[in-house]
A and B are shown apart, each in its own frame.
Chain A
Amino acid sequence: EPEVTQTPSHQVTQMGQEVILRCVPISNHLYFYWYRQILGQKVEFLVSFYNNEISEKSEIFDDQFSVERPDGSNFTLKIRSTKLEDSAMYFCASSDRNTGELFFGEGSRLTVL
């Protein structure tokens, strides 16, 4: 069964360092998303991406964040200068249409020290 894959599963970084989280969405999907979940809290929307551009972003997704689809398969989230409060589980998701369900990856746990 097709699935969304994310790497790394866990990354520990120092405050101020750049981090890139990688995702391989399901191959025929056209809509891509990043969500985050701070430990014990709700799942928060970060950004959606369609047709090679950001379609929506939340207030959380400030200038420190960027997304890219560098080739036909990967979808990346970059945090330029990490802060302690960026520590969270980051979920990538994809969808084949804008009314369908999202298919989530297993998540990448980011720990900022």
Chain B
Amino acid sequence: AQSVTQLGSHVSVSEGALVLLRCNYSSSVPPYLFWYVQYPNQGLQLLLKYTTGATLVKGINGFEAEFKKSETSFHLTKPSAHMSDAAEYFCAVRHWNTGNQFYFGTGTSLTVIP
């Protein structure tokens, strides 16, 4: 079965500092991987996704993530945090043999300190 683990339910960084949000998946075959962001009182917005091809994917708002098969990871990074990045971030996986389900991680709440 698929599962997604997000290490750290809360992450705080200073404005301008590196953002690193961790995501690991468990799957015998590499799944499709996604990062979503949820701003307060809003829906889920896709930040970026990995399906095939280049393992370093770039998303919106300066975020990027790297798929590392050997580590079963898909960590999300941003070189310099902005105040507007404060939100909840969800990693998600999807694979053809699990039908149409998306499996979400438990989420990481990012706080940016001025």
Contact = CB atoms under 8 A, between A and B. Distances in A.
Contacts of B32: 99
Contacts of B51: 99
Interface residues of A, number: 24
B42 A106 contact: yes
Contacts, number: 57
B80 interface: no
B90 interface: yes
B106 A42 contact: yes
B43 A33 contact: no
B29 interface: no
A75 interface: no
B99 A91 contact: no
Given A42-B106, A43-B90, A33 B100 contact: yes
A18 interface: no
A71 B43 CA distance: 25
Given A42-B107, A101-B49, A55 B43 contact: no
Given A42-B106, A43-B90, A43-B104, A98 B43 contact: no
Contacts of B102: 33, 35, 45, 93, 102
Contact of B104 (A42, A99, A107): A42
Interface in A12-53: 31, 33, 35, 41-45, 48, 50
Given A45-B104, A105-B43, 4 more contacts: A42-B104, A50-B100, A91-B44, A104-B43
20 contacts: A31-B100, A33-B100, A33-B102, A35-B102, A41-B106, A42-B106, A43-B107, A44-B104, A45-B104, A48-B100, A48-B101, A56-B101, A91-B44, A95-B100, A99-B51, A99-B94, A103-B46, A104-B36, A104-B44, A106-B42
